[in-house]
Amino acid sequence: MEENIRPPLAVRARPWLIALPALLVLIGILYPFLTAIYYSLTAYAFNRPGSVDTFVGLRNYTRMFTHEDFLYSTYITFAYALLSTGIQLSIGLIVAMLLNRDSRLAKIFTPTLIFPMMIAPVIGTLIWKMMMQPSVGILNPMLNAVGLPSLQWAAVPETALFSVVLVDVWMFTPFAALILLAGLRSFPSAPFEAARVDGASFWFTFRNLTLPMLTPFIIIVVVFRLMDSLKMFDIIFAMTEGGPGNTLMTYQLTAYRTGIQFQRLAQGLPYAILLYIIIYITSMYLIKAWGRAQRRAAGY
């Protein structure tokens, strides 16, 4: 009798099926993450069998913080992220404002914004690398044509950061522009007409009305671009592999070089975990700010 009133298998399995995606996420994300934390506390190196069982506590972390290149690495990570995000935001805002009008030119240009994003970052970077080649690349002749001196681009420390940021800006400014354009297009027209009647200049309207209403969209751009550029790998690696010297050795590049190329996984992992913590804290803060900005833009 007992068996007869048991619900069918499909019903009994339902809670498990519903939880399955979460379970997969748990396995797919949390397991490697926790493993990484565990490995970072060992002496794990690929070329030393058995080293994974040697527990060394926080030694890898102390080594990272006291490393002579650590401060420079921090500087270059943040310089790259802040520069590229900042420039993308500024140019993206200008482009979005220019495209936010009902003209034929705007209709033609808006879809072309997608082009740089359709190219794989590595391929795009390799093409830039060829264009930047000091002796045969096309960029130097172009500079010379307008009376500027040739540059050594990514080949020398002075302009290496500039070169990779330039590629990042080229590649992702359209993303910023599209998000901001979507924001501008979503605005009701009446308040802006009211501002015209009220006699507000372009700058006054921009500061007092456009910018506060656009802030949620600006934060979205910053969240995406800052997270992405803090952990940027493709562009820097394809361009110089972190060089010349250690000029472009960000956390991400250092983690890769130490952990994979030099096979000392446990020593590379602290950089990745530190990066994770930085990105986590920054994005949490930004998402909170986004909620506030959205309420403000909506008029609460």
Partner 1 sequence: MAELRLEHIYKTYKGEVEAVKDLNLTVQDGEFLALLGPSGCGKTSTLRMIVGLEDITSGEMYIGNRLVNRLEPNQRNVALAFETYALYPPLSVFENIAFCLRARSIPKTEIGQRVRRVADMLDITDILDRKPAELGGGQKQRVSLARALVRDPDVFLMDEPLSHLDAAQRSHMRVELKRLHAQTGRTTILVTHDQLEAVAMAQRIAVMNFGVLQQVGSFDEIYNHPVNEFVAGFIGEPPMNFLPVTPVREAEKLHLAAVDGSFRILLTDALKTRVERSGAQKIDLGIRPIHMEVVEDEGDNTVDATVVTFESLGEEGQLAATVGTSTVLVVTSPWLRLDRGDAVRLRLRSERLHLFDAATQAAI
SS3 262: coil
- Asked whether position 22 contacts partner 1 by CB under 8 A, the answer is no
Angle at 71 between CA 66 and CA 73, to 5 degrees: 110
- Asked whether position 50 contacts partner 1 by CB under 8 A, the answer is no
Site for partner 1 (CB under 8 A): how many residues? 22
Query: Which of 134, 137, 191, 244 forms a contact with partner 1 (CB under 8 A)?
Result: 191
Binding mask 206-245 for partner 1 (x = CB under 8 A): --xx--xx--------------------------------
Contacts of 143 (CB under 8 A, 6+ apart): 149, 150, 151
Binding mask 77-116 for partner 1 (x = CB under 8 A): ----------------------------------------
Query: Which of 1, 22, 277, 298 forms a contact with partner 1 (CB under 8 A)?
Result: 298
CA–CA dist 300, 295 (Å, integer): 5
Q: In this structure, are residues 217 and 176 in contact, taking their beta carbons and an 8 Å threshold?
A: no
Nearer to partner 1, 210 or 247 (CB): 210
Maximum C-alpha span of the chain = 94
Output the smallest distance, CB 191 to partner 1, in A.
Answer: 5
**Of residues 192-211, which lie at the interface with partner 1 (CB under 8 A)?**
193-201, 204, 208-209
Output the smallest distance, CB 190 to partner 1, in A.
Answer: 4
Tokens read off for 218: 């600006």
**Of residues 278-297, which lie at the interface with partner 1 (CB under 8 A)?**
296-297
Helix (H) or strand (E) holding 76: helix 70-99
In one letter, which amino acid is 196? R
Helix (H) or strand (E) holding 300: none
Binding piece for partner 1, criterion CB under 8 A, among 40-48, 84-92, 129-137, 190-198: 190-198
Nearer to partner 1, 21 or 199 (CB): 199
Q: Which residue has the tokens 């394809």?
A: 238
42 - beta bridge partners?
55
CA 206 to centroid of chain Cα atoms: 27
- Asked whether position 188 contacts partner 1 by CB under 8 A, the answer is yes
Nearer to partner 1, 155 or 200 (CB): 200
Contacts of 248 (CB under 8 A, 6+ apart): 76, 80, 160, 161, 164, 236, 239, 240, 242
- Closest alpha carbon to 177 in 287, 108, 120, 94: 94
Output the smallest distance, CB 36 to partner 1, in A.
Answer: 43
Output the smallest distance, CB 185 to partner 1, in A.
Answer: 16
Using CB under 8 A, list all residues that contact partner 1.
188, 190-191, 193-201, 204, 208-209, 212-213, 296-300
